[in-house]
Amino acid sequence: MESGPSDCFYCARDERLAKILMEICRLEVSTLYLFREQTYRGRCVVALDAHETELFHLDRDTLQRFSRDVARAAAAVRRAFGPDKINYAIYGDLAPHLHYHVVPKYRGGPSWGEPFALHPPAQQYPPEEGCRETIRAIRAHLPA
C-alpha cells in the first residue's frame, strides 16, 4: 500500500479508523470495511489502498479494478442480507481519500426513498460479536 498523508486515517489505519470501521478483507486495489454503526444493516465502505482523492486521478486499470471491488462488495452485501436497493456515495470533504459508501436500503426501513443519512439520528451500534457475524456473512458471499 502506498503511503499517504499522516492525517489520512485510511492511510494511517490507526485508532481513528478502528473507531468507526472494522476491516472485512482486502480486495484487488482496495480494502472493504464494515461500519460499526449499522442503521443500514451491512453498510460498508470500499477504500482505495493508494492515497488518491478523485476518480479522475486514477489510471484506467486502477479505475476498472476499483469499480470491480465496489461491485464485488455490493454483490456480497446483496447476497448476505437481501436489501431492496444498494445506494452508493463518494464524498471526501472530511476524509479526502477515495472511498465508496456501499449502503443497503430496505423498503420500509430508515431513509427509504431518500438519500441515506451519513449520521443517522437513531444510531445503531451492535455489539462487537454482532459486527463480526455481519463480517462473516459478507465474506461468505464475496464473489471471486
Chain centre to alpha carbon of residue 122 = 20
Residue 130 has pLDDT above 60, yes or no: yes
Note the pLDDT tens digit of each residue in 80-94: 999 999 999 999 888
Q: What predicted TM-score, i.e. pTM, was given to this entire model?
A: 0.93
Residue type, position 106, single letter: Y
Predicted confidence at residue 137, as pLDDT, reads: 98
Compute the distance between CA of residue 89 and CA of residue 91 in angstroms, rounded to an integer.
6
